[in-house]
Structure 1
Amino acid sequence: MTDLDTAIAELNRPKLLVDAAHHGCHTYKRRRDLRRLLRIAIPRSPEDALKRLLPIEHDLERRRQMKTSAYSISRHVEILTAVISETMALRMSSRA
Structure 2
Amino acid sequence: MHETLKEFAALRRPRLLIRAARIGVPGYTRKAHLPRILGYGGTFKGAQAVRRLLDMETALNTQRRQSDASYSVARHVDVLIALMGEARLLRASHEAQVKASGIESFLRAT
Same topology, TM > 0.5: yes
Q: How many corresponding residue pairs?
A: 95
- Once the 2 structures are TM-superposed, how far is the Cα of residue 26 of structure 1 from its aligned partner? 1.5
Residue aligning to 1:42: 43
The residue type paired with residue 36 of structure 2 is R
- Are 1:66 and 2:66 matched, yes or no? yes
Contact 1:34-1:42 at 8 Å conserved across structures: no
**Alignment-mate amino acid for residue 47 of structure 1:** A
Which deviates more from structure 2 when the two are superposed, residues 73-82 or residues 32-41? 32-41
Which runs of structure 1 show a deviation greater than 3 angstroms over 4 or more consecutive aligned residues?
Answer: none
- Tell me the distance in 1 between the aligned counterparts of 2:28 and 2:53: 14
Task: Write 1 or 2 for the structure with the bigger share of helix.
Answer: 2
Does residue 82 of the first structure (1) align with residue 82 of the second (2)? Answer: yes
- The residue type paired with residue 58 of structure 1 is T
How high is the sequence identity, in percent, across the aligned residues? Answer: 36
Offset at 1:41?
Answer: 2.2
Question: For 1:29-79, what per-residue CA distance to the aligned partner results, in whole angstroms no more than 9, with x for missing partners?
Answer: 101111110113231x22111111111000000001111101000000000
Match of 2:14 in 1: 14
Q: How much does 1:5 deviate? A: 2.6
RMSD: 1.4
Q: What is the aligned partner in structure 2 of residue 54 from structure 1?
A: 54
Maintained 8 Å contact 2:5/2:87: no
Amino acid at match of 1:3: E
| Stretch of structure 1 that moved more, 5-14 or 28-37 | 5-14
Paired with 2:2 and 2:70, the residues of 1 have a C-alpha distance of 31
SS of the residue corresponding to residue 27 of structure 2 reads coil
Larger radius of gyration between Structure 1 and Structure 2: 2
